[in-house]
Structure 1
Amino acid sequence: MKTKSFLIKITLLALPMFLWNCSEQLNEEQELVVQQGDIDYTSEESAFGALVGSYRTFQSLGWEQVPLLSVRGDDVNAGGLGDQQGFADTDNFIYDNNYWMYNSLWNSWFQDVLQITVQIDQLEQFKENGVDANLIDQYIAESKTLRGFITLQLSRAFGDVYKIASPDQTQIEVLPKDQLMQWISDQMDEAVPDLLDAHPVDRNDLPGGITKYTALTVKAMANLELENYQGVADATGQIINSNKFELFDDFYNLFKIPGKLSRENILEIQYSDFGQSSGDNVGHLYAFYGSQNWTPAVAGASSGWGFYEPSLKYIKFMLDRDETIRLETSVLFTNRGIAELEAAGYTNMPSFVNNTTRDGDRINDYSRAMFASGKHYLPSVQLTPGRTSYGTNKNYTVIRYAEVLLMYAEALTRGATGNAGSADSAINEVRQRAGLSPINGATSQDVIDEKFAEFAMEWGIRYADMVRLEKTNELSYDGRTFTMDKAYLPYPLAQLEQSFILREYANNNN
């Protein structure tokens, strides 16, 4: 994954961009057509290519996907004045199932799930044709882990969604969320024995690729959704006891170039411009998150779009806790935003609450927001000379060891037993890096607060926690009113029109 050949390799298989065409007959073969070229199923190299196809599918993360997962949390606000009104409405729990982002999130990720499932099906054929069975089982397990993670995120967004375990369309079904989470957990149990027992960065074939610890983390996340806290403690405890992971000592740079493939990262999407000023560039469109108006330290570096804003509630929460490095890392401040904080009584703020970052980029006032996400910011001085796109060459952090520690801590505070230390030891490891004093006798609320401080703006973690715990009061802030009937986005209208499976399920469960 670290090499250019991994980043730009083309998948062996290609799928149409459209699932379940308008026909209501589930058994019509033309509804799902997989195109494939000539494949040598006796070749280990071709099998590796099929695995890379799964990673390449996951790598194609759309710019709108994670923001839509995150925006309903009380850590994130939608920036904008009329632009992307549907995104702003979603932030306020006003849902339009015809909004293009909903359909894009659903369609893009379920296309990815189906593509990965096809890769799994193809990998089975390599085993049947004599390629090392243990190697193929590993590749299948890696693909299952990616599929499980994506399905989990889709279920967090929409609730009851497709379980796709086969490319056979007649086998695809919609399951209630709790059944999906159990299926994902079971899938990870199948995957773990076949995966490498290593830190992802220590893989020689694909540095940063899936290992057993990635699957264990996905299992813990699924069990957290189920509130099976013993299952969470068991999975996270194995990761902690492996002693293969550690927190990156520089929280500020964890989300920047020095943090690429750190020993904290359990899963990240890797991008690269290959250290060249022009030419090949595999990257993510980070502009959505960026400030709309800045004066970069490196002249010519592009600004962002201003659609993703850390909430004033989150910033006040952090100031009240005397947070330093995590607040500086998570939030980019404008003078307008600083004035808003001062008007709210915060008149003696730390020196880093400034519109110029430590790397010399000045965040000027702009109309769409008062703050921008620092976790999606790459200092202009870290851009490869000649590259100007906002955030280009920055990896997308997906799962961190800090999340494992805090899931373990929460599980123990909710009655689970663990063999990887106490809840205090896990939460205090995270707090120590943040420069905070240790806690004695950590409670569940202490852990939830720590997760709020640690994971703001990341993958909708805060929103998922508040929904799981039914914290309607926390999500009802700054004029918003959240009720549990708003926990999940509605099925996209375009998908209801196209899929008999989904339409029938929705009609039967209204």
Structure 2
Amino acid sequence: MKNFKQLLNPLVYLLVAGLCFTSCEDKLKEQDGQLGTGDLDYTKTSDMIMPLVGAYAQIYSRGWEDPLLLGVRGDDVNAGGLGDQQPFAETDLFNYDKGYWMYNSLWTNMYSDILDINNARETIQTYKDFAPESAYAKADQYMAETKVLSGWTHLQMSRVWGSIFIITQSDVTDDLANGVATKAEVMKYVSDLMDEAIPFLPDSRPNQRTDVPGGVTKYTALAVKALANLELENYQEVANAAGAIITSNKFMLYNDFYQLFKKSGELSDENLFEFQYSDYGSATGSVNNHLYAPFGPENWTPARAGASSGWGFYEPSFKFIKFMLDRNEKVRLQTSVLFTNRGIAEIKTDAAYATLPSWISNTTPDGDVINDFNRAKFSSGKHYLPSKQLTEGRNDYGSGKNMIVIRYAEILLMYAEALTKGANGTGMTADQAVNMVRDRAGLGDLTGVTHADVMDEKFAELAMEWGIRYFDLIRLKNYAELSYDGRTFSEDKALLPYPQAQVDLLPLGVQ
């Protein structure tokens, strides 16, 4: 313990990569009945929303590497041929380099988010301490929202690394001293945290909120609870949480799967959690964008001249494309994949796919032509914004596009999965839940839906989204699916190794 105390400051520094930790240590506090001497006036209750907005801004400010690293190990996605990021390509092959900067960046990005979110919650509590009683409910709501943001972040980290630190406050001394919690303990913590938050959250869709448009609600918390219990294989709790979302009758599938991932699908009735970005409809001035270039093709001829291409780092797999062709999918395949001519030609070298549907083309429905490029043969359509939907004067790939994190289709399919695993449901059957998703895709109804049917539907519906496919296969120990196209997967590859920089300083124990 003596050594741990001596190392505490560098441990904290590394945990957050030096990002604004002093703001946690030096946050304004009430001293001797007086307000702190910083810039915040805690008696100004109308400003109480500001730390909450800051918490959202922090979680929206994802590094470009975060969603790529979460998803690349699935059989739905390949890394592009990355000469300048070879350890990322090796990660896709389950060859892990714990010194690789991306691993450490994902770790520090997420822990710095958690610390800032915790700091926001503590700041809101201080506002509440000085607020009139009439403002207590709003303060409780705002603090509950931070719990949802923190819970989602812990969930993602534990999916990647298994045992991690549970960080409950901005002063991490005690949380670090407790050591890492197991994955099961983290998921239980997340589920319990959602139970704490739910009573104080708005009973509405995110797109119905006017104070923080798109902000989390009771149903976002229920979705995060369902995800945590899915990892625990506690299927009755999954069915209960997902069923509560379904029976609220507040959510519905967006009618156009292709447009769901474009500008018109933003803040739709389908989206339970969505990162908000904008260039404010102006050709110049400030922007709050996610960097979508890694998802995009290196070479294209955009329908709107001048629109920038991408980097080619994230490629839908041949396995996924052939799976979709075998199902006679059009709507979801055309949405999910941007084809190149050389990619199409390579599919045709397989005699079973020598003749492809006429709609498969290197020209998107919006007229952008995806030219051949070196790094990959396909690009992700779900992260593609048609060039003609860019704001005039903005040329960055995907500029202003939101990123959907949790949507109603996933809720329906989690619910159906839970029922096929023996849980009791309310509101609809597994057949009905699956067929709602299939109907939008233009596919016929199924009867007597099995667990395998649901997992196939999740593969088709949720590919390229947040590593959902990979984490499903790991949870179900369906490792054979991950040994494809020359890859060899084994159970010991399920988790990423802790970043070496963290191992050197943090009390991580043995992974």
Q: TM-score, normalised on structure 1?
A: 0.92
Write the letter of the residue equivalent to 2:378.
F
Task: Note if contact 2:25-2:171 (Cα within 8 Å) is conserved in structure 1.
Answer: no
Moved more, 245-254 or 339-348: 339-348
Write the letter of the residue equivalent to 2:81.
G
Cα separation, 1, equivalents of 2:221 and 2:154: 13
Q: 1:7: which partner in 2?
A: none
Say which SS state the counterpart of residue 180 (structure 2) adopts.
strand
**2:173 matches 1:167:** no
Task: Note if contact 1:356-1:362 (Cα within 8 Å) is conserved in structure 2.
Answer: yes
Say which SS state the counterpart of residue 266 (structure 1) adopts.
strand
* Residue 311 of structure 2, aligned match among 278, 299, 305: 305
Q: 1:117: which partner in 2?
A: 118
Task: Specify every segment of 5 or more residues in structure 2 that has no aligned partner in the other structure, as ranges.
Answer: 1-8, 16-20, 29-37
Deviations 1:360-399 (A, max 9, x none): 1110101100000000001101111111000001101111
* Residue 430 of structure 2, aligned match among 418, 423, 430: 423
- In the TM superposition, 1:283-302 aligns within 5 A as 283-302=289-308
Moved more, 217-226 or 337-346: 337-346
Q: 2:441: which partner in 1?
A: 434
Cα separation, 1, equivalents of 2:113 and 2:396: 26
- In the TM superposition, 1:7-156 aligns within 5 A as 20-21=12-13, 33-34=25-26, 37-131=38-132, 132-156=135-159
Q: 1:411: which partner in 2?
A: 418
Cα separation, 2, equivalents of 1:276 and 1:177: 45
Say which SS state the counterpart of residue 124 (structure 2) adopts.
helix
How many pairs align? 483
Q: CA deviation at 1:32?
A: 6.6
Cα separation, 2, equivalents of 1:125 and 1:178: 32
Q: Flag the 1:18–1:381 CA change in 2: closer, same or farther, 3 A.
A: farther
Write the letter of the residue equivalent to 1:181.
M
Write the letter of the residue equivalent to 2:194.
M
Task: Note if contact 1:283-1:394 (Cα within 8 Å) is conserved in structure 2.
Answer: yes
Cα separation, 2, equivalents of 1:391 and 1:451: 25
Cα separation, 2, equivalents of 1:52 and 1:18: 29
Q: 1:6: which partner in 2?
A: none
Write the letter of the residue equivalent to 2:349.
A
Q: 2:465: which partner in 1?
A: 458
Write the letter of the residue equivalent to 1:33.
E
Cα separation, 2, equivalents of 1:113 and 1:120: 11
Deviations 1:163-222 (A, max 9, x none): 011222222141000000001000000000000001111112112111000000000000
Q: CA deviation at 1:44?
A: 2.3
Deviations 1:294-327 (A, max 9, x none): 0111111000000100000000000000001100
Say which SS state the counterpart of residue 279 (structure 1) adopts.
coil
Cα separation, 2, equivalents of 1:22 and 1:274: 35
Q: Flag the 1:65–1:18 CA change in 2: closer, same or farther, 3 A.
A: farther
Q: TM-score, normalised on structure 2?
A: 0.92
- In the TM superposition, 1:315-464 aligns within 5 A as 315-345=321-351, 346-464=353-471
Cα separation, 2, equivalents of 1:352 and 1:361: 14
Task: Note if contact 1:21-1:31 (Cα within 8 Å) is conserved in structure 2.
Answer: no
Cα separation, 1, equivalents of 2:173 and 2:105: 23
Write the letter of the residue equivalent to 1:20.
V
Moved beyond 6 Å, runs of 4+: 29-32
Write the letter of the residue equivalent to 2:411.
V
Moved more, 476-485 or 341-350: 341-350
Task: Note if contact 1:163-1:174 (Cα within 8 Å) is conserved in structure 2.
Answer: yes
Task: Note if contact 1:21-1:498 (Cα within 8 Å) is conserved in structure 2.
Answer: no
**2:253 matches 1:247:** yes
Q: CA deviation at 1:22?
A: 7.3
Say which SS state the counterpart of residue 442 (structure 1) adopts.
coil
Say which SS state the counterpart of residue 175 (structure 1) adopts.
coil
**2:219 matches 1:218:** no
Task: Note if contact 1:405-1:427 (Cα within 8 Å) is conserved in structure 2.
Answer: yes
Task: Note if contact 1:81-1:367 (Cα within 8 Å) is conserved in structure 2.
Answer: no
Q: CA deviation at 1:18?
A: 8.1
Write the letter of the residue equivalent to 1:284.
H
Write the letter of the residue equivalent to 1:164.
I
Q: 2:200: which partner in 1?
A: 194
Task: Note if contact 1:20-1:32 (Cα within 8 Å) is conserved in structure 2.
Answer: no
* Residue 478 of structure 2, aligned match among 471, 477, 495: 471
Q: Flag the 1:339–1:278 CA change in 2: closer, same or farther, 3 A.
A: same
Cα separation, 1, equivalents of 2:306 and 2:204: 41
Task: Note if contact 1:20-1:498 (Cα within 8 Å) is conserved in structure 2.
Answer: no
Cα separation, 2, equivalents of 1:294 and 1:148: 39
* Residue 241 of structure 2, aligned match among 235, 241, 251: 235
Write the letter of the residue equivalent to 2:302.
P
Write the letter of the residue equivalent to 1:49.
M
Cα separation, 2, equivalents of 1:288 and 1:153: 20
RMSD (Å) for aligned C-alpha atoms:
1.7
Task: Specify every segment of 5 or more residues in structure 1 that has no aligned partner in the other structure, as ranges.
Answer: 1-16, 24-28
Cα separation, 1, equivalents of 2:45 and 2:227: 33
Task: Note if contact 2:273-2:404 (Cα within 8 Å) is conserved in structure 1.
Answer: yes
Cα separation, 2, equivalents of 1:460 and 1:75: 9
Q: Flag the 1:297–1:40 CA change in 2: closer, same or farther, 3 A.
A: same
Task: Note if contact 2:294-2:310 (Cα within 8 Å) is conserved in structure 1.
Answer: yes
Cα separation, 2, equivalents of 1:21 and 1:165: 17
Task: Note if contact 2:296-2:380 (Cα within 8 Å) is conserved in structure 1.
Answer: yes
Q: 2:283: which partner in 1?
A: 277
Task: Note if contact 2:223-2:241 (Cα within 8 Å) is conserved in structure 1.
Answer: yes
Say which SS state the counterpart of residue 404 (structure 2) adopts.
strand
Q: 2:4: which partner in 1?
A: none
